[in-house]
Amino acid sequence: MPRPGAFLVVDDSKLHHQMYNLIFTRGSLIGSTVHHAFNGREGYSLFVTHPELTMVFLDLNMPEMNGLEFLERRRAEQLHPQIPIVMVTTEGSADDEARGRAAGAWDYLRKPFTPPDVERLVEHALARAAAPS
């Protein structure tokens, strides 16, 4: 079962931040800490200072450093490689998903998603972290 954790949401949509808040303040994820960033640059600063993150949810299209640039910079700097970064995509962006994976994204989450989708992803990430590598 998933448990509460620390999450970073990087998305330029206020609406999406509120959706994540809903997801992380109910059910099995209740009690999680959520850090919010509204563009890639802001998100990267938070990413740098929070090595304890359980997972990052990263939107692709954002002003001031988009999701792909975020991923590329993180790979170049070898920063917190243990933190899984999930790209948030929409249908019809398979090419972005492929590019993101290549740039070091752990998985992707396609819109529209539901709270159980996010819970499942978190569960996978935690199971992976717990497994001996």
| DSSP at 39 | S
Binding to other proteins, residues 18-37 (CB under 8 A): 18-19, 22-23
The piece of 14-22, 30-38, 47-55, 72-80 that touches other proteins (CB under 8 A) is 14-22
Rule CB under 8 A: choose which of 111, 127, 128, 129 binds other proteins: 111
Residue closer to other proteins, measured from CB, 111 or 128: 111
CA separation, residue 83 to residues 53, 86, 126, 133 (Å): 6, 10, 10, 14
Nearest to 14 by CA among 66, 59, 77, 68: 59
Rule CB under 8 A: choose which of 78, 95, 112, 133 binds other proteins: 112
Strand, coil or helix: what is 86? strand
Nearest to 37 by CA among 14, 55, 54, 19: 14
Q: How far is the CB of 111 from other proteins (least distance, A)?
A: 5
Q: Does 16 bind other proteins (CB under 8 A)?
A: yes
**Dihedral angle sign, alpha carbons of residues 111, 115, 118, 124:** negative
Backbone φ, ψ for residue 24 (5° rounding): -85, -5
Q: Does 10 bind other proteins (CB under 8 A)?
A: no
Binding mask 52-91 for other proteins (x = CB under 8 A): ---------x----------------------------x-
Task: Please give the residue ranges that form the binding site for other proteins (CB under 8 A).
Answer: 13-16, 18-19, 22-23, 61, 90, 111-115
